[in-house]
Chains A and B, each alone.
Chain A
Amino acid sequence: MLGYFLRRLAGTIPVLIAVSILVFGFVRLLPGDPARLVAGPDASEADVQAVRQDLGLDRPIYWQYAHYVGEIFQGNLGRSSRTRLPVSYEIGQRFMPTLWLTLAAMGWAILAGMGIGVLSGVRRGRWEDQGGMVVAVSGLSFPPFWLGLLLIDLFSVRLGWFPTGGYESPASIVLPSFTLGLAVAAVLARFTRSAFVEVASEDYVRTARAKGLPERRVIWTHTLRNALIPVITMTGLQFGFLLGGAVVVETVFAWPGLGRLLVDSISYRDYPVIQAEILLFSLEFILINLAVDLLYAVVNPEIRLR
């Protein structure tokens, strides 16, 4: 298992190199001169030229890439062309808010989503199932933008229970994590239910019932455990997406996360920040995929990792 883990980890390096080349090329295909965007709306041509030299954008692209990679290997991600602060500082400031928001949203979404999914699966066709799926479909259909504003109006302006936004106190995380987690919970509920229903019709579940196992064991050990594989895959994917930052929720709740940083950086063609963020997201996805594979083995010992 450890050997497998290390081999997979080493395998991420070529992927990251490929991603870095792709991202480096793609951001430079975007129209617009970053030097001019950074220099601002009333800069002179001389200012723009100064910024261009400062950012190294007057050099050939292969030189820029070689320089970039060389700096990365010295642990230097460069400076944001917009704020001129180190990229590591810019991203570092926003990584923890995004991580906390993701964990809080995923935490409740997994519990609620899987809970509703199992309940609907067990009580298939009854009112619990109908009700659960109405909740799930509504959760998916609610635009987070609108939901966020409604929550702010009710819980912050009228009731005063939670702050309208910001990253100030523990109470700040409640409304954004609820808004962000709702769609995830809904997806997981639908996924869990369908996986559960599928497994419940398998022969071995019938066998388990036939040999007189208590219903609780049939549900938890035989059915749910086997139904978990697709649910874990989905959870991993959702987790990866949320770690990439949630632009809408971050915007509505003024949450200083990675999503807004990426959007701001794209509109300013802030190449160093865009590159670093995409590399970070790629790394996160690779690690999550790895964790998902390991979890498969935990849930189902028949899966052997080599």
Chain B
Amino acid sequence: MHQIPRRIFIGSSLALAAATGARPSRAAGTTDLIVGVPTNLTGLDPADVNDTLSQSACRLMMQGLYGFDKDMNLIPVLAESYTANDTATEFTFKLRTGISFHDGAPFDAAAVKANFDRVTNPANHLKRTSLFAMIDHTDVVDPTTVRFVLKSPFGAFVPTIAHPSGMQLSPKAIQQYGRDISRNPVGTGPFKFVSWSADTLRVTKNDKYWKPNLPQLASVTFRSVPENGARLAMLQAGEAQFIYPMPPEMIKAVEHNANITINNAPSIYERYVAMNVMKHPYGDLRVRQALNYAVDKAAFAKVVWSGYEDPADSPIPPHLAFHVAQQPWPYDPAKAKQLLSQAGLGDGFDTEIWANTTTIALRAMQFLQQQLGAVGVRVKVTALEAGLLDSKIWSVQKPADSALQLYTGAWSSSTGDADWGLRPLFWTQAGPPKLYNVGYYSNKDVDADLEGALATADPKKRAALYADAQKRLWDDAPWIFLGVDRNLSAQSKKLTGLHMIPDGGLLIEEAALTA
């Protein structure tokens, strides 16, 4: 713990304020990395966290059978390879040998079974249980072979295993700590847990790490600094070597700083406006097309994101598996007006747009209000705090109860796969409260594609089905397709090998600092 020593409060605080303290103690050595992050961690149990930051923190210490490289490609980590049966109901993984958890417990098939038995048991009340709900049971075939038997075909199983929630904890530690494993995590990864207090996580090098010559850092510290300017100041003052997110509007202030590099990397966050097809006039294809013609996507990137946003070219972003680029919707307000006239809305119409209360969301809604206003659509802008969004959108029980007309938000498929990029948003059965199809879009052909692609593990068949689904969705325009975010971060020039992957997670294993 780092309590402030009592003695400094003896005597007046004025004297303290007047005293010019020595330059604050920096990290002990040149191989201690400090990362400035925007929010507090919510936990360190991979099966019980659902935010990207906590998952990045878990990834310092824990690993899964499969994982993602810096470009979000699926790679084996604790497993060497897998095989699947033709119906995508059985997946067998061959494990690496000679790996131990930080507490000395061996990593083997029994450990994998213990982890998946834990996360799939609803009695454990873990937040990610449903992610693995397709698993019927897990078998130890031999100490280095584990087999998952699924309840129904699930072609996206390996990306699901690679999801951060599939990272492995020491079975011994699970026994020992029970629910408090969340603040005593033990994995096989490059760093070992030291401490996690309110806003600071510290980990130290795992000297027995199974990959040779890694990690190069002696320690890593995550410090949560919510204020954008203060986080950037940390980097400028040399108190941190990596910060994210880098606010786009502040880039100009530091881009000529000789010690700082701005990282501008692709992400898998797609921004959209969902239209509720159950509500007049959004059931009319011509209206949905008109709105896509009415919004200038290049201006959206410029006005809302200071230029750091790519145009969307499919319902899923380019760095997701099975993405196929479509023909862009050009900016054509005349065509938009013409389509609205054909739909009997020559005088325009009144509507309302909802989003959360972040600065970016407000800016996006105001921008859309202006753009749609130019073709006669009068938009009322309403920002909703998280609890209100929940009660007005995500918890609505029946489509008829939804008052939603337009909603703008973003989605990132946490498995890196097209299934989780499309199914929660466009599948007929994915309406709230079950999943996130807030516009209640329904299309039999798209449903057939999404269901078919899950029923096979053959990448070729899946690719063809997802290509068809993307084409249909793009033309049917259940969304105004806005853009794909960039992952903006900033770092010291002394730092190398730290990557932000497209899902916003951090890969720190290979990071190194030069003096």
Contacts and interface: CB of A to CB of B under 8 A. Distances in A.
Interface of A: 30-33, 36-48, 50-51, 53-54, 82-85, 90, 93-94, 96-97, 100, 103-105, 107-108, 111-112, 148-149, 152-153, 156-157, 160-174, 177-178, 181, 251-254, 256, 260-261, 264, 267-269
Contacts of B83: none
B24 A172 contact: yes
A contacts with B: majority SS: helix
A277 B435 CA distance: 33
A252 B229 CA distance: 8
30 contacts: A31-B388, A31-B391, A37-B387, A37-B390, A38-B127, A39-B50, A40-B50, A44-B133, A44-B435, A45-B433, A46-B130, A46-B133, A83-B42, A84-B48, A97-B198, A104-B9, A111-B14, A149-B229, A157-B233, A157-B236, A166-B225, A167-B4, A167-B199, A171-B24, A181-B13, A253-B230, A256-B198, A261-B198, A268-B386, A269-B387
Contacts, number: 195
Contacts of A251: 226-227
Given A42-B414, A45-B433, A256 B199 contact: yes
B424 A42 contact: yes
Contact of B125 (A51, A90, A168): A51
A115 to B, nearest CB: 9
B200 interface: yes
Interface residues on B, range: 35 or more
Given A36-B390, A100-B4, A177 B230 contact: no
A152 B424 contact: no
B182 interface: yes
B16 interface: yes
A108 B226 contact: no
A161 B233 contact: no
Closest 8 CB pairs of A and B: A32-B387, A40-B50, A107-B13, A171-B21, A256-B198, A163-B24, A44-B130, A54-B125
A93 B40 CA distance: 13
A32 B396 CA distance: 11
Contact of B21 (A50, A104, A170, A261): A170
B182 A85 contact: yes
A58 B43 CA distance: 24
B43 A107 contact: no
A165 B236 CA distance: 13
Contacts of A166: 199-200, 223, 225, 239
B387 A174 contact: no
Of B223, B227, B434, B435, which is in contact with the most chain A CB atoms at under 10 Å from its CB? Answer: B227
Given A53-B125, A84-B182, A149-B230, A177 B17 contact: yes
Nearest to B238: A160
B86 interface: no
Contacts of A165: 225, 230, 234
B273 to A, nearest CB: 17
A100 B7 CA distance: 12
Contacts of A85: 43, 180, 182-183
Nearest to B48: A84
Contacts of A153: 233
Given A47-B127, A108-B12, A172-B24, A156 B233 contact: yes
A152 B233 contact: yes
Given A47-B129, A254-B230, A32 B9 contact: no
Contacts of B388: 31-32
Nearest to A115: B14
A156 B239 CA distance: 10
Interface in B1-42: 2-5, 8-9, 12-14, 16-17, 20-25, 40, 42
A41 B50 contact: yes
B331 interface: no
B226 A260 contact: yes
Interface in B171-217: 179-180, 182-183, 197-200
A109 to B, nearest CB: 9
Nearest to A109: B13
Contact of A83 (B3, B43, B229, B230): B43
Contacts of A36: 390, 394-395, 433
Contacts of A156: 233, 237, 239
A110 B247 CA distance: 38
B51 interface: yes
Contacts of A104: 9, 13, 16
A153 to B, nearest CB: 7
A260 B414 CA distance: 28
A163 B240 CA distance: 11
B122 interface: yes
Given A43-B50, A84-B43, A157-B233, A170 B130 contact: no
